[in-house]
């Protein structure tokens, strides 16, 4: 089972995005642990809702930053976000079905997406955003 801990190696060097990622990883890790400890279905549903709200807010936040900065790969990035939204929906329905194994698999699938997406797509977006903001603030360019 791979770790779900955010480390500085996961940084995209945009503080607000990094702190949202830390929260997402924390909530996903706690949910996974709760599944492993056979926490009650209502508690799992609450944890899943917290993660869903955090992640949904984060995806919207990133999309707004990228749109405002006219990020050229926005469409590609948004497609990846759509994948996360459907994984979240799968997580929610697995919790409604109350099948521990399928909840665990749904959390793992979402966690794998988070690791891959933050390591590649978000890092690329972070680099673009930093350059964009630097250039916008530059008064002699």
Cβ proximity to Fe ion: between 94 and 113 the closer is: 113
Nearer to Fe ion among residue 62 and residue 110 (C-beta): 62
> Closest separation between CB of residue 9 and Fe ion, Å?
15
Footprint of Fe ion (CB under 5 A): 62, 122
Shortest Å distance, C-beta 77 to Fe ion: 6
Give me the least distance between CB of 110 and Fe ion, in Å please. Answer: 13
Counting Cβ atoms within 10 Å, is residue 13 exposed (0-12), middle (13-18) or buried (19+)? Answer: exposed
CA distances from 69 to 13, 15, 83 (A): 16, 17, 23
Which of 121, 103, 110, 62 minimizes the C-alpha distance to 85? 110
Distance CA 140, CA 14 (A): 24
Q: Which is nearer to Fe ion, 92 or 123 (CB)?
A: 123
| DSSP H helices in 3-120 | 15-36, 41-68, 74-97, 100-119
Measured from the CB atom, the residue of 18 and 44 that comes closer to Fe ion is 18
> Which residues does 45 contact at the CB level (< 8 Å), separation at least 6?
95, 96
Nearer to Fe ion, 82 or 134 (CB): 82
| Cα–Cα distance, 10 to 24 (Å, whole number) | 12
Q: How far is the CB of 41 from Fe ion (least distance, A)?
A: 29
Q: Which residue number has the CB closest to Fe ion?
A: 122
Give me the least distance between CB of 69 and Fe ion, in Å please.
Answer: 13
């Amino acid at each position: 089972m791979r770790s779900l801990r955010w480390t500085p190696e996961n940084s995209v060097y945009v503080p607000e995005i990094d702190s949202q990622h830390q929260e997402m990883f924390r909530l996903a890790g706690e949910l996974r642990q709760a599944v492993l400890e056979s926490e009650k279905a209502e508690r799992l549903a609450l944890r899943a809702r917290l993660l869903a709200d955090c992640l949904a807010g984060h995806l919207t936040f990133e999309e707004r930053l990228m749109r405002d900065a006219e990020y050229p790969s926005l469409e590609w990035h948004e497609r990846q976000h759509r994948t996360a939204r459907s994984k979240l929906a799968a997580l929610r329905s697995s919790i409604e079905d109350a099948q521990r194994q399928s909840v665990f698999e749904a959390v793992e699938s979402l966690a794998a997406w988070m690791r891959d997406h933050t390591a590649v797509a978000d890092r690329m977006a972070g680099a673009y955003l930093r350059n964009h903001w630097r250039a916008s603030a530059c008064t002699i360019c």
